[in-house]
Amino acid sequence: MNVDKVTEHMTPQGEGQNEPSRISFYIVLGSLTLSVLISILHQLNRFYKMKRWDEMESFDSKFRSEQHFEKWYMQEMLDKEEELRRKKAVETLQRRDKERIAELFSQHRRTDKKKEEEANK
């Protein structure tokens, strides 16, 4: 009887009995904490992927718009060059036509002068 009182005094009443429930409580608490952390990390990962996707789409659209601008600009430059070539070709043709007309006119004058000289003789 004396030994039972000593061992009762050394271990508080009920502590040994609650030990398995305390361990299971910590296991449940740890697993819940872990699942919450995993859920948070999953949501952050999804948010990061969505943000990256948006950034990639904005970069892609920006890149496409820059490509579109470059194509448009190059087409404009080609159109201007073509227009300048056409103007130069037209000017060249007009100059040649004027030279031909002047040459024909001078030939006509020469023939008229020769006819007048022959008529005067």
List the domain range (segments joined by +) for residue 98: 20-120
DSSP state letter for 13: T
Residue 18: predicted pLDDT: 59
Whole-angstrom distance, CA of residue 4 vs CA of residue 11? 11
User: What is the pTM (predicted TM-score) of this model?
Assistant: 0.39
Residue 93 lies in a domain: yes
Stretches in the chain below the pLDDT threshold 70:
1-18, 121
Residue 4 lies in a domain: no
Residue 3 lies in a domain: no
Residue 13: predicted pLDDT: 54
Residue 75: predicted pLDDT: 92
Whole-angstrom distance, CA of residue 42 vs CA of residue 48? 10
Residue 12: predicted pLDDT: 53
Exposure pattern of 28-53 as b/e (b: 16+ CB <10 Å)? Answer: eeeeeeeeeeeeeeeeeeeeeeeeee
Residue 6 lies in a domain: no
Residue 5: predicted pLDDT: 52
Residue 53 lies in a domain: yes
Residue 113 lies in a domain: yes
